[in-house]
Chain A
């Protein structure tokens, strides 16, 4: 198998690095953008990339849920919240002192260097036998766990959701008045 920097070039590895690049680029975009609205949309890119990572790891249901809840609902909620509160686009904060920028750069480089050295020096345990794939699609496994083994927690989730709904209505209505 062809290798690049000691990493075998497989479809899964290529997908991982593409997704990691999407996540990192979107994350940096969130920090670099001037307007809050653009930041919120860029955060959607991060959520989508994370969903891809979930699917790549075999947790397909969690990945789809990530797209549905985070990339769909949470991003929309943030955009609505911004449209509600933000009138102008004056979100640019004062530029930090140049010395601070350089110090930040130096400390970041040192920090990343230490992390890389530590990660490279550790002997990571690698499983010798292949990981058994799931016997069923993960959706079925989740369903069996949720509706058989963990029935009471599942019912409590509905209580939690109702409480969240009522709480959201209460708080939002107070804001309205």
Chain B
């Protein structure tokens, strides 16, 4: 069956989850000494005392970058099948993708001109 190729990926996912879980949650507590004091339990043991809540309002710039990342992420999705099939598509496919990328670059130039990419 076709999806048997993905059994290896499944194996990697399972191992990738199981290894840190086994070491951090099961074997670790058995091996490491545990004598907690008030100082040790602080966020930064020998550093500054944390002030306020961990959840603060983030700068809107992060959101702008995330939005742009989403648009270019979708663009990348179109690049993958093109790259795989590149040799069969030839010059025709190359020009096609060039038009695609130029059109998207216009969007990038627009964002650039609007100073979205600047980090003040």
Contact = CB atoms under 8 A, between A and B. Distances in A.
Interface of A: 11-12, 15, 37, 55-56, 58, 60-61, 65, 68-69, 72-74, 76-77, 80-81, 83-87, 89, 133-134, 137, 139-140, 142-144, 146-148, 151, 154-155, 157-159, 161-162, 164-166, 168-169, 172-173, 175-176
A165 B73 CA distance: 12
Contacts of B104: 158, 161-162, 165
5 tightest Cβ-Cβ pairs between the two chains A and B:
A143-B85, A143-B81, A165-B107, A162-B107, A158-B103
A144 B85 contact: yes
B58 interface: yes
B82 A86 contact: no
A123 to B, nearest CB: 26
A83 B78 contact: no
B63 interface: yes
A159 B100 CA distance: 8
B40 interface: no
Nearest to A145: B81
Contacts of B93: 147
A154 B106 contact: no
Decide if the interface of chain B is mainly helix, strand, loop or mixed.
helix
B99 interface: yes
Nearest to B75: A161
Interface residues on B, range: 35 or more
B70 A65 contact: no
B44 interface: no
Contact of B60 (A11, A58, A176): A176
Contacts of A147: 81-82, 85, 89, 92-93, 96-97
B8 interface: no
B84 interface: yes
B3 A157 contact: no
B78 A146 contact: yes
A161 B81 contact: no
Nearest to B10: A15
